[in-house]
Amino acid sequence: MAGLSRRTFATAAVTALPALLATGAAAPAAGGSAVTAPAGAGGGAAAPARAMRGMWLATVGNRDWPSRPGLSAARQRDELLRHLDAAVRRRLNTVIFQVRPTADALWPSRHEPWSAYLTGTQGKNPGWDPLGTAVTEAHARGLELHAWFNPYRVAAHTQPSRLVAGHPARKHPGWVVPYGGKLYYNPGLPEVRAFVQDAVLDAVERYPVDAVHFDDYFYPYPVAGQTFGDAAAYKAHGAAFSSRAAWRRNNVDLLVKETAKRIRAARPGTRFGISPFGVWRNASTDRRGSDTRGGVQTYDDLYADTRKWVRGGWIDYVVPQLYWHIGQSAADYAVLAEWWADTTRGTGTALYLGEALYKAGDPKQAAAWQNVRELSRHLELAAALPEVGGHVFFSAKEVAADPSGAMARVVKDHYGG
């Protein structure tokens, strides 16, 4: 599970800083605030006139839901509704539901197999429609439902033969690159880019989702001593670019720009948001970057020019994963919150901040996370930044159980609870 979760990388990126630096390398829910977010974001959809109070509901590795694969349809549905009810209880108004965790689907997709995280067997029909149910039940509770897609991850292993027969990655083996113990679609192939968009648009066309949401995985996080095998694609498609890095960034730019255009055409009013790793570039690398020492920089390592997308109004909202405490030496939450506020100012791209609820009270985390008020302090700090339109918490399991009491404190201090 931990190896599959995107948040593992956010933690590891700071943990590995010394080594990396050495190498250079809808209707408002209960309690919803009437806060006006930036309008006209992304060149299309209007931003909601309330603060974002969201949570991620992760399905990869059965992180949040379902609690394990192979449960009955009734049990799965009951668990899903309990998560939605928890969101309402915590006075949230948005659920970001992971519906395409590993090139699979939590709805009857025309393009990809049913997810193994439902039944334990990839391609097996679970007997119900999780995404359709989530949209209907979220809206009935006054919650927005944002459908969360991982663009390029195919599997948490490197053996295509383990994928269900008829999987697109088996039908098109040239699309796939093994890297770091996982399989990925190759972002450098135009046919892959078109297929990923088709997979996403299948859900958008079928369901009245309030937004499409991409996470931080574009090109995969760097793995020491390994090279992402896209030399043939670069030779075929990269001649116009000064470097492979520039070509890779253009590939991701095209995915983002084209997906946004297709979403607006398919379902006007549906928003498009992305939750990148919190450091675009360090100021030591680029004067426009943040005063941080991030071991990962999205521009250089994931080939995701998140700043360009924000400044250009390509996306409707951005949720940088600011999974560090206030005062963290390499990546201070306060420094990054201000940097993202400066970056989004005047762009029309709404800014929400991603919060590491999962770290609160964890004895393996820094002392700051043992203070039940750490997350509440984040919201206090952000309240002084007009560009910040709300917060999203990772993730649903901790929102519901709240073992540290940090979520209850946030609700009490900021959500009228």
Number of helices and strands in the chain (H, E)? 14, 11
Q: What is the pLDDT of residue 173?
A: 97
66 cis-preceded (ω within 30 degrees of 0): yes
Could you give the percent of the chain with pLDDT greater than 90?
88
Q: What is the pLDDT of residue 45?
A: 56
Q: What is the pLDDT of residue 220?
A: 97
Angle between helices 244-266 and 190-206 (to 10 degrees): 20
User: What is the spatial distance between Cα 363 and Cα 410, in angstroms, rounded to a whole number?
Assistant: 20
Task: Tell me the CB-side half-sphere exposure of residue 136, using CA atoms within 13 A.
Answer: 7
Q: What is the pLDDT of residue 49?
A: 64
Which residue has 């995107």 as its token pair?
Answer: 6
3-state secondary structure at position 120: coil
Whether 268 and 290 have beta carbons less than 8 Å apart is answered as no
Task: Tell me the CB-side half-sphere exposure of residue 234, using CA atoms within 13 A.
Answer: 13
Both tokens of residue 149? 């897609």
Both tokens of residue 295? 């071991």
* Bridge-based pairing state of the strands 176-179 and 182-185: antiparallel
User: What is the spatial distance between Cα 40 and Cα 333, in angstroms, rounded to a whole number?
Assistant: 27
pTM of the model: 0.91
Digits of tens for pLDDT over the chain (417 positions)?
333 344 443 444 444 443 333 333 333 333 333 323 333 344 445 555 689 999 999 999 999 999 999 999 999 999 999 999 999 999 999 999 999 999 999 999 999 999 999 999 999 999 999 999 999 999 999 999 999 999 999 999 999 999 999 999 999 999 999 999 999 999 999 999 999 999 999 999 999 999 999 999 999 999 999 999 999 999 999 999 999 999 999 999 999 999 999 999 999 999 999 999 999 999 999 999 999 999 999 999 999 999 999 999 999 999 999 999 999 999 999 999 999 999 999 999 999 999 999 999 999 999 999 999 999 999 999 999 999 999 999 999 999 999 999 999 999 999 997
Q: What is the pLDDT of residue 417?
A: 75
